[in-house]
Amino acid sequence: MGAPGSGKGTQSSLLASRLEGAVLSTGAMLREEAKRNTPSGFRLRQTLANGEMVSDAIVCDAVAERMRAPQTEGLANRLAAGGTLILDGFPRTVGQAHCLDRLLEGLGMAAPLVLHLVVPKEILLRRLARRRQCAKCGAIYNLASGPPLNAGTRCRIDGGALVERDDDSEGVVARRIAAYESETIPVVDYYRRRDRQGSIYRGIDGNRGAADIAKDLCDILSSAGAAGTEDAAVAA
Which parts of this chain interact with ligand AMP (CB under 6 A)?
4, 26-27, 30, 47-48, 51-54, 59, 89-90, 92, 96, 167, 176
Q: Which is nearer to ligand AMP, 182 or 223 (CB)?
A: 182
C-beta of 8: minimal distance to ligand AMP in Å? 7
Distance in angstroms (rounded) separating the CA atoms of residues 225 and 19: 12
Q: Which is nearer to ligand AMP, 90 or 191 (CB)?
A: 90
Q: Which residue is nearest to ligand AMP (CB)?
A: 27
SS3 20: coil
C-beta of 214: minimal distance to ligand AMP in Å? 18
Pairing of strands 232-235, 200-205: unpaired
Q: Which is nearer to ligand AMP, 59 or 111 (CB)?
A: 59
C-beta of 63: minimal distance to ligand AMP in Å? 8
Q: Which is nearer to ligand AMP, 5 or 227 (CB)?
A: 5
C-beta of 155: minimal distance to ligand AMP in Å? 18
Count CB-CB contacts under 10 A for residue 64: 16
Sign of CA dihedral 233, 21, 226, 6: negative
Q: Which is nearer to ligand AMP, 90 or 190 (CB)?
A: 90
Q: Terminal CA-to-CA distance of the chain, rounded, Å?
A: 4
- Give φ, ψ of 98 to 5 degrees: -65, -40
Residue 205, beta-bridge partner list: 118
Q: Which is nearer to ligand AMP, 183 or 230 (CB)?
A: 183
Distance in angstroms (rounded) separating the CA atoms of residues 34 and 149: 28
26 contacts 53 by C-beta, under 8 angstroms: no
Distance in angstroms (rounded) separating the CA atoms of residues 139 and 136: 8
C-beta of 81: minimal distance to ligand AMP in Å? 26
Element housing 41 (H / E) = helix 39-49
C-beta of 125: minimal distance to ligand AMP in Å? 14
64 contacts 103 by C-beta, under 8 angstroms: yes
